Chains A and B, each alone.
Chain A
C-alpha cells in the first residue's frame, strides 16, 4: 500500500504524483523505475520511472501520461488514495561520473526520467546541454527544472508553437558538429525519437545512451517480456537496463514488440471509456 501524497496536472494528459514509499526513496538512484498496480487482483503491472525522491518525506515522484486504461485510472486517483502494489526501485542505476560535456535529449514524457539523470550529471561536474522537445507547446513538461540545471538549453516543438520549430535531432546534429564534440549523449523519449537520435550521433561516434521503455510484466528478470536485441545479444530491459548503447539497439524489433497488444489495448481502453461514460450518465 502506498498513499498518494501530492498530485499535479503538468499538461493536458500528463500528471505528476508523489507517493509515500520510504524504502524505495531511500534506495533508489537516477535511472531506476518502479512497477505499480492500481488493483492487485486484476490490475496490470506498469513500469514508471522514478522522477524524483525525497527521503525526508519518504516519497517518490512519478510522472505519467494517459495512454490507456491503467494510466487513465491512475490519473483519476486523488490525494489520500492508496496504490495497492508498488515495487522498486528496479533496473540498473545510471552510471554517473564526470564525462565532460553531456547532451541530455528529452522527448515528450521522456523528460521526466531524463531530469534526475541530468541533475545527477550536473552534480558530478559535467557541462550539461539540454534539448527538450515535444509535438507542441502543450506537451512540454519540466521546462523550468531542466533549464535551471542546464549550461545550455534548447527547446523545440514539431509545430513551432513554442521554442525552435523542428525535431530534437536537428540541434543534436549541430552540437555533434562542434569542436570539441560532446563526450556523451543521453536520449530518452519515444522509441522513434531515440532511434533517430542514435542515428544522428552515429557518424560522429558520440556515445549515445538510451533508456528503453519496453513492455514489462514482473520487472525482476523472470519472464523476458521486455527483451531486446542489443548488439548480437538478447538483453532484458528490466534487469540489464533500462539503459543501453543506442548505437547497438535494434529499435525496429523493439518497436514491433511494443505493438504486440495494440488491438487488445485499444479494445480495453474503449470498453473502459464506454463504461465510464455510462457510470457518469447514471450518476446524473
Chain B
C-alpha cells in the first residue's frame, strides 16, 4: 500500500486547478469524467500509529474544488435518494465548485446539522456514493464523487471561519420535548424539535455528550472538539442538556411526562449492550468488550497517561475478535496505546467485513495483521487468571447460503494457538435493556429492540424511539435518519395539539 504525502497531493491539485477553473462552466460530462479522483491526505502511517491525532487530514481547497467538479450534476440524483437524511448533494457540490462556501453550508444545513461528523464517519460507499453515476460509469465505487469528504470540507471550512450559523428558531410554543440519549439520533431530534419552537431537554447518562461519537469512535477518526462544536450549536439554539441522568433509574421514563410535564419523549438510548462469544476463558483478566476498552480510552481518556485516573490494561499482543468498525477502532487504539502486535481475527473473508473499506486500509497501513477465516475457540489463562494465549480454529468458504454469501465452514482439527495477552471482543452490541426493564408497557421484540410504527411511534402514547435501540447496532447516519423521522412525527403531533388548544 502506497502512502502519498499530503504535500504531494496538494502540489498535484494546485497544478490541476489552474486548468479547470478557467473553464469551470464549460466542462462537459466527458471532461468531468477525466478529472482524477482526489485522494484524501492522511498522516504518515508510521507516525500516526503512535498518536491520537486525526488520521485523515481533509482536502485542501484546491482538492475539494477539483473533486467537486467531478460531479456530473446528473438528473438521476441517486446520491440524494441514498442519503438517509436526503442532503441536496449536487446543489451543495456545485456551490463548492464555484467557491460559494456560505451557500454550500446552507444547503447541507437544510438537511443535516452535523455535517462535520457525518462527513467523517458515514459509510458513504454503501450510501450516497454507492450509486453515484460517476462511480457506475467508471465501474468502481471508489471512483464515485467523494461526497463525504466534500461534506466534511464544507463543515470544516465553516468551523474554521468561526461563524457557525445558528438556525432560525420559530416562536416558543410552550411544549416540552424530552430526548433520552445524546447520541446521533437524539441530537437530530433535539435540533429538529427545537427549530419548531419547542423546549427541548436532552438527558444523558454519561458525564459527556455525544453517545457513541464520544465513547466509541476514537479521536483519530473523529476529534472530540468537532463533537463539542456541533453540540455548541444546539446549546446556542437553546437546547438544554442534563448529563449524569439515567432515565429509567434517576427518573422513570413515564415520570418525565407525569411528573415533569414533558409533552413528548424520544428514546435514543442506542445499542450499548456488549455481546460476548460465550467461549471458555472469556472472564479472564485481559479480556474486554470493545465497549469497555474504547470507553476507557476515549471517554475516560486513559490514553493520556499521567493525566487520566482511569487505568487501561497494558498489552503487548492483542487479538480483536470481529470485523466491523468497532473492531477496527479497537485494534487501532490498542496499537496507539503501545501494543507491539495487534491481530484482527475474523471468521469470514475481507469481502464480508462490515467495516468501512477506508478504515480497513488505514488499519493495514498502521501494521494491524488480519487473520481471515479464523475464529477464537477458547481463551487460556495463566495461574493468576490472566490471558496467556488463545486457541483458534480455521474455516473455509462453503456453499452460498440463502443470502447469497458463502458460509464459513469449520475445518476439523485445525486448532492452533495464538500468542496474545489481551483479547478485545467486538462482535456486536445488543440493545440496552434499562429503559424497557423499567418501562414494562413499552413493547420490545425478542432482541429487546423497541417496536415502532412508520413514524417512529412506540406502543406508549407520546413516546417515540429511534436509532440503534430500534434498529439494533447500525450506523450513525441511519440513527440520524430515524431521528429526523421521529422529530417530524413529534412536531406534527404537537402542532395538532396546539391547533386543538386554540380552537377550544
Report which A residues bind B (CB closer than 8 A): 23-24, 27, 37, 39-45, 69-70, 84-90, 217-218, 220-225, 227-229, 234, 239, 250, 252-253, 256-257, 259-261, 264-265, 268, 271
Contact = CB atoms under 8 A, between A and B. Distances in A.
Interface string B379-400: 0000011100000000000000
Contacts of B385: 252-253, 256-257
A90 B249 contact: yes
Given A220-B432, A223-B295, A261 B311 contact: yes
By secondary structure, the B interface counts as loop
A234 B289 CA distance: 13
A88 B207 CA distance: 12
Please indicate which of the listed interface residues A87, A88, A259 has the most CB atoms of chain B within 10 Å of its own CB. A87
Contacts of A90: 246, 249
A229 B278 CA distance: 12
A148 B37 CA distance: 79
B433 interface: yes
Interface string B232-251: 00000000000111100111
Given A86-B244, A88-B250, A256-B285, A268 B309 contact: yes
Interface in B341-393: 384-386
Interface string B306-323: 111111011000000000
Size class of the contact patch on chain B: 35 or more
A44 B274 contact: no
Nearest to A223: B292
B283 A220 contact: no
B295 A88 contact: no
B276 interface: yes
Given A43-B309, A86-B244, A264-B311, A37 B273 contact: no
Contacts of A37: 207
B140 interface: no
B245 A234 contact: no
Contact of A239 (B307, B313, B434): B434
Interface string B424-466: 0000000011100000000000000000000000000000000
Given A44-B311, A220-B432, A257-B283, 10 more contacts: A23-B251, A27-B249, A44-B300, A87-B245, A90-B246, A221-B272, A224-B291, A229-B283, A239-B433, A253-B385
B95 interface: no
Given A27-B250, A42-B301, A223-B291, A85 B272 contact: no
A224 B292 CA distance: 7
A218 B314 contact: no
A96 B208 CA distance: 35
B300 A223 contact: no
Contacts of A84: 207
Contacts of B207: 37, 40, 45, 84-85, 87
Contacts of B272: 220-222
B220 interface: no
13 contacts: A40-B208, A44-B311, A69-B309, A217-B292, A223-B291, A227-B283, A234-B282, A253-B283, A256-B284, A256-B384, A256-B386, A257-B285, A259-B285
B304 interface: yes
Interface in B279-337: 282-286, 288-289, 291-292, 295-296, 300-301, 304, 306-311, 313-314
Given A40-B207, A42-B307, A224 B295 contact: no
B20 interface: no
Contacts of A225: 288-289, 292
Contacts of A88: 246, 249-250
Nearest to B307: A42
Q: Interface majority SS on A: helix, strand, loop or mixed?
A: mixed
Contacts of B286: 260
Nearest to B381: A256
A218 B384 CA distance: 26
Complex A-B, nearest 7 residue pairs according to Cβ-Cβ distance, in ascending order: A256-B385, A222-B272, A223-B292, A44-B309, A264-B311, A85-B207, A261-B311
A103 to B, nearest CB: 30
Highest count of chain A CB atoms <10 Å: which of B276, B295, B313: B295
B223 to A, nearest CB: 16
Contact of B289 (A69, A223, A268): A223
A222 B251 CA distance: 19
Nearest to B216: A222
A144 B300 CA distance: 40
Given A41-B301, A42-B309, A221-B272, A89 B249 contact: yes
Contacts of A253: 283, 385
A86 B205 CA distance: 10
A92 to B, nearest CB: 9
B206 interface: yes
B427 to A, nearest CB: 12
A27 B251 contact: yes
A254 to B, nearest CB: 9
Contacts of A252: 385
Contacts of B308: 42, 44
A271 B309 CA distance: 11
A259 to B, nearest CB: 7
Contacts of A228: 283
Contacts of B313: 260-261
A174 B311 CA distance: 43
B241 to A, nearest CB: 13
B283 A87 contact: no
A220 to B, nearest CB: 5
A87 B301 contact: no
Contacts of A40: 207-208
A86 B246 CA distance: 11
B273 A221 contact: yes
B295 A24 contact: no
Interface in B35-59: none
Nearest to B425: A224
Contacts of B273: 221-222
B311 A268 contact: yes
Contacts of B205: 87, 218, 220
Contacts of A268: 309, 311
B433 A217 contact: no
A218 B249 contact: no
Contacts of B251: 23, 27
A284 to B, nearest CB: 25
A45 B208 CA distance: 12
B32 to A, nearest CB: 47
A264 B310 CA distance: 10
Nearest to A257: B285
